[in-house]
Amino acid sequence: MNLDELNSEQRAAVLAPDGPILILAGAGSGKTRALTYRIAHILAERKASPFEMLAVTFTNKAANEMRERVATLVGDDSRLPWVSTFHSACARILRQECHALGYDRNFSILDESDSQTTIRRVLEDAALAESPPLELARARIEQAKNEAISPEEMLASAPPGRETSTARIYQLYQERMRTMNAMDFSDLQLQTWILFQRFPEILEKWQRRAAHLLVDEYQDTNRVQYLIVKALAARSGNLCVVGDEDQSIYRWRGADIRNILDFERDYPAAQIFKLEQNYRSTKTILAAAGGVIRNNTERKIKNLWTENGAGEPVTYYTGVTERDEADFIALEIARLTGSGGFRPADVVVFYRVNAQSRAIEEALVRRRIPYYVVGGVRFYEQRDVKDLLAYLRVLANPADAVSLERMVGTPPRGIGAKSFEAITELADRQHITAFEAMGRLETYAKVALRIAKQAGMLYSWMHDLAARIPELSVRGIVEEVVAHSGFEAYLGTLEDATFRKQNLAEMLSAASAFDAEKSGGGLPEFLERVALVSDTEQIDSSGGRAALMTLHTSKGLEYPIVFMAGMEEGLFPHSRSADIDEEIEEERRLCYVGMTRARQLLYLTNTLSREIYGVRQESRQSRFMREIDSSLIRRIAPERHTAPVRPLSPREAYVDYGDSQLPDDEPGPGGDAFSIGAKVVHPTFGRGIVRRREGRGDGAKAWVNFDRGGIKLLVLKFANLRLIAD
């Protein structure tokens, strides 16, 4: 381990004595390097063994990167500490300790859709007078768990009416989850916190296991994570957190920026280090992003700087519509990946909401630019993959009624919704799991004998396979499920059978890869890994494709070229912000994070008119654009041939307004036929009406609302417009 590879601030943070430490790490300042070197230094100095260290972060990608870097520095795989995501760390703790809370160690982890299904059934069964809508109930339950609020606490403080009903639904949902021996994502953390509160001896055991606790991305921790971290660090006091309040962008899912802002209040003896040298971006990109973020008040002052060159100006393009914006993005990507020397994989296009991707995707398809969308349907959330996983979940946890219902219906075997109702009724009467009830269905008069026999045969086979799980690999289990369930033959009957069978092959590959790992574990561990897959794991920089994703997926990434589309008021910052200071500051942080993903080139784009969610409206320039020093920006006005793309034809002409607002009405010269309200026809866009005018003489332009082309801004000299009679 060569400490000479660190700058002075990184080195100071790495060598700091034990105790609470806050490393304020600006964007691109080498925080992972500082964190991994500190881990390696603690091990090298024998301050702790690998079995007394825990490093937590938020994504599997970040955890894997941290683990690999530590392995390189330490040079001995046997001396690696525990490096994990928050959710995985909590799952590991609960696998060992959940019996204290009344759970079996093979509990299921429900994904979002299965959790929603369970809440829906609770709502239907409870039939409360003032039941909340499903989405509201799910959101409030998740919020409560993120804030470490139990159902009992929520019920005790809820006012009469819908809030009380919601608290009651939360309570019933948790009871049903316990019956199913299941937890959702938020439960992993809440139940860990409850475990630590109720059982001090268990907490002390894990405090020893985390005698040196290091937390990455501390600015993104929510209340329950904050409490878990504080509890684990209370015994040793050796807590090192790394973060940047300027990059806190998950307030909507419970992240509390006060956790990092108030670190010195929580730990008065804390040592503070600031990493301010940026290794990623050009001086220009850094200055532009700094101009935006310095308008926030909820932040600690940092002065990021870089030894990198000035680089190119930030390119700012305004199109008339979202199609123009998308065409510009596609043309620029084509140019940069053609003669520009870049690869498609060097490019990312960020947008604020998923609905923006449609126009961009269409433009990329037209230009034959390979791309992929991050945050679409994940592999493990595809229908047939979830159907197969349902078998595995029931094998690992027979009490998982949600997975059981999915399993008995795929492939179709006559056990429909009414039959499954009978199974659950029998289970309730005999106080057994639904899986066991399936094996006793022939004794239940409400079900036809043919269906009962089908259920009994399925139960017998699954029961036998479950008994043999300890002697089988995960791939062996998957192969046996596929062979005996009729699943593969069923896939062959579907219209997209080839694609579905490819998914099946990929599942087998995933199981093989898991089996090949030295510490892979068994079926419960495989299912845990599947459940905790995140959007960022879909990112593939080696695949030769440009990436499209929302800005909230951008954390932890960097690209040579970044496009940020939709820099408009109401879109970014989002209309939900509604000038609420805290929300606007969150949106500004999101803008800053997006901008600082760029290494070499940064493009910011917007439109004068945008159709989104089926409504077209005029657009106004985002306030964030006005916060960037104009000397750092290169504006694009294609009709003046200043754009670094091919010259556009007159009928493609765009205009570049400094404030991106529709111009004021301006009459043309006397006698000009194309006055406001004139009806015209265009050879490409068809019939239209002149709505606004700008300029005079050869520079005269008109806004025309076409029947089939929408709003277009045309240079009249070249527009080839023709007046038509009323």
Q: Which of 589, 597, 610, 701 is catalytic?
A: 597
Q: Which of 32, 271, 277, 382 is catalytic?
A: 32
**Which among 351, 361, 281 has a CA at the least distance from the CA of 314?**
281
The CA distance from 592 to 572, in Å, is 12
The CA distance from 486 to 411, in Å, is 7
pLDDT at 79 exceeding the cut of 80: no
Average pLDDT over residues 157-185: 93
Q: Which residue has the higher pLDDT, 562 or 417?
A: 562
pLDDT at 637 exceeding the cut of 80: no
Q: Is 32 a catalytic residue?
A: yes
Q: What is the pLDDT of residues 92-128, one digit of tens each?
A: 999 999 999 999 999 999 988 899 999 999 999 988 8
Calculate helix-pair angle for 134-146, 185-198, nearest 10 degrees: 40
Q: Which residue has the higher pLDDT, 720 or 370?
A: 370
Both tokens of 369, joined, read: 């630019």
pLDDT band of residue 513 (cuts 50, 70, 90) is confident
pLDDT at 651 exceeding the cut of 50: no
Both tokens of 126, joined, read: 């409870």
pLDDT at 659 exceeding the cut of 50: no
| Predicted pLDDT at 203 | 98
**Which among 316, 329, 133, 89 has a CA at the least distance from the CA of 225?**
89
Q: How far is CA 523 from CA 440, 509, 510, 529, 702, in A?
A: 26, 15, 12, 10, 66
Lowest mean pLDDT among 7-21, 254-268, 485-499: 485-499
Q: Is 679 a catalytic residue?
A: no
| Predicted pLDDT at 552 | 93
- For 715, the enclosing helix (H) or strand (E) is strand 710-715
Instruction: Check if the beta carbon of residue 254 is closer than 8 Å to that of residue 149.
Output: no
pLDDT at 639 exceeding the cut of 80: no
pLDDT at 299 exceeding the cut of 60: yes
Q: How far is CA 288 from CA 291, 310, 382, 594, 596, in A?
A: 5, 11, 40, 12, 9
The CA distance from 472 to 460, in Å, is 18
| Predicted pLDDT at 691 | 78
Query: Using a CB cutoff of 8 Å and minimum separation of 24, what contacts does 501-507 make?
Result: 503/379, 503/382, 503/384, 503/385, 504/384, 504/388, 506/379, 507/385, 507/388, 507/478
Q: Is 216 a catalytic residue?
A: yes
The CA distance from 19 to 75, in Å, is 26
Average pLDDT over residues 327-346: 92
Residue type, 433: T
| Predicted pLDDT at 543 | 61
| Predicted pLDDT at 147 | 95
Q: How far is CA 577 from CA 105, 571, 574, in A?
A: 42, 10, 6
Query: Using a CB cutoff of 8 Å and minimum separation of 24, what contacts does 167-170 make?
Result: 168/126, 168/128, 169/119, 169/122, 169/123, 169/126, 169/128, 169/131, 169/132, 169/137, 169/141, 170/137, 170/140, 170/141, 170/144
Q: Which of 207, 221, 225, 247 is catalytic?
A: 247
Instruction: Check if the beta carbon of residue 437 is closer than 8 Å to that of residue 426.
Output: yes
Both tokens of 507, joined, read: 């599942």
The CA distance from 577 to 287, in Å, is 25
Average pLDDT over residues 196-200: 97
Average pLDDT over residues 466-479: 92
Q: Which of 9, 31, 299, 610 is catalytic?
A: 31
Q: Pairing between strand 679-682 and 598-607?
A: unpaired
The CA distance from 367 to 351, in Å, is 20
| Predicted pLDDT at 689 | 85
Q: How far is CA 499 from CA 381, 385, 409, 494, 511, in A?
A: 15, 11, 21, 10, 19
Q: Which of 216, 244, 246, 585 is catalytic?
A: 216
The CA distance from 302 to 28, in Å, is 13
Residue type, 588: R
Q: What is the pLDDT of residues 522-550, one digit of tens each?
A: 898 899 888 887 666 666 655 689 999 99
pLDDT at 640 exceeding the cut of 70: no
Helix, strand, or coil (residue 583)? helix
pLDDT at 167 exceeding the cut of 90: yes
Q: What is the pLDDT of residues 127-139, one digit of tens each?
A: 887 888 998 999 9
Question: What DSSP assignment string belongs to 48-89?
Answer: S-GGGEEEEES-HHHHHHHHHHHHHHH--GGG--EEEEHHHH
Q: Which residue has the higher pLDDT, 19 or 543?
A: 19
pLDDT at 161 exceeding the cut of 50: yes
pLDDT band of residue 314 (cuts 50, 70, 90) is very high
Q: Which residue has the higher pLDDT, 509 or 594?
A: 594
Q: How many CB atoms lie within 10 A of CB 493?
A: 10
pLDDT at 652 exceeding the cut of 50: no
**Which among 77, 702, 177 has a CA at the least distance from the CA of 401?**
177
Rg (C-alpha) for the chain, rounded Å, is: 29
Lowest mean pLDDT among 158-172, 322-336, 375-389, 646-660: 646-660
| Predicted pLDDT at 312 | 96
| Predicted pLDDT at 648 | 32
Instruction: Check if the beta carbon of residue 487 is closer than 8 Å to that of residue 411.
Output: yes
pLDDT band of residue 578 (cuts 50, 70, 90) is confident
Instruction: Check if the beta carbon of residue 599 is closer than 8 Å to that of residue 347.
Output: no
Q: How many CB atoms lie within 10 A of CB 125?
A: 10
pLDDT at 650 exceeding the cut of 80: no
| Predicted pLDDT at 87 | 94
Q: Which of 111, 217, 245, 569 is catalytic?
A: 217
Instruction: Check if the beta carbon of residue 650 is closer than 8 Å to that of residue 718.
Output: yes
pLDDT at 379 exceeding the cut of 70: yes
Share of the chain above pLDDT 70, in %: 91
Average pLDDT over residues 336-365: 91
| Predicted pLDDT at 686 | 78
pLDDT band of residue 564 (cuts 50, 70, 90) is very high
Q: Tokens 């499903």 map to which residue?
A: 134
User: How many residues belong to the chain?
Assistant: 726
Average pLDDT over residues 355-362: 89
pLDDT band of residue 168 (cuts 50, 70, 90) is very high
| Predicted pLDDT at 232 | 98
pLDDT at 264 exceeding the cut of 60: yes
How far out from the chain centre does Cα 451 lie?
42
Q: What share of the chain is helix, strand, coil (3-state, %, to 5)?
A: 50, 15, 35
Share of the chain above pLDDT 90, in %: 59
The pTM (predicted TM-score) of the whole model is 0.80
Q: Is 31 a catalytic residue?
A: yes
| Predicted pLDDT at 536 | 62
